[in-house]
Amino acid sequence: MTKKQILEAIERHCNTECNLDGDVCCNVSCELHPSKIDKIKRNKSKLLKAIREHCLECCGGVPRSVSACNSSKTCALWPFRMGQEIEGIQFHVDINPEDDIENVIF
Ligand code: SF4
């Protein structure tokens, strides 16, 4: 997985699965808030850690529930929920990993 894939998944999750009213997200406590992601967007391990924290919050702080999450078809973050690289993972975010990450818009 690339930083570009991770950032695209976060963007998709925030803009089409979470913050559905299209306004600027006001949940500044979220690990995936644009103000936080902007500071770590060049560090893949920190991006994965932020997603992991978000998934733990989604699952009430229960790691086993994150592992068992069955939202692979509906949540763009699903391939990254374990906070680490997973062999053979399928992405449903269709992007070109060669694209410049500066073009990712939050
Ligand atoms: S992958 Fe699962 S646990 Fe993580 S945010 Fe999506 S629905 Fe929640």
Q: Give start and end residues of each alpha helix (H) in the chain.
A: 3-12, 34-40, 44-58, 63-68
99 inside domain: no
* Domain-located, residue 49: yes
The verdict on residue 102 lying in a domain is: no
Encoding tokens for residue 1? 């997985």
Q: What is the pLDDT of residues 80-97, one digit of tens each?
A: 999 987 776 665 544 444
Within a domain: residue 101?
Answer: no
Q: How far apart are CA 20 and CA 24, in angstroms?
A: 10
Nearest CA to ligand 1 atom 4: 55
Q: Do the domain assignments include residue 70?
A: yes
Q: Is residue 64 part of a domain?
A: yes
CA–CA gap between residue 4 and residue 38 (Å, rounded): 13
pLDDT at 72 over 80: yes
Give the predicted TM-score (pTM) of the model: 0.81
Asked whether the beta carbons of 101 and 14 are under 8 A apart, the reply is: no
Q: Is residue 97 part of a domain?
A: no
Which residues, 6 or more positions from 28, have their beta carbon under 8 angstroms from its beta carbon? 35
- Considering its fold, how many domains does the chain have in total? 1
103 within domain boundaries: no
Q: How far is the CA of 103 from the centre of ligand 1 (A)?
A: 25
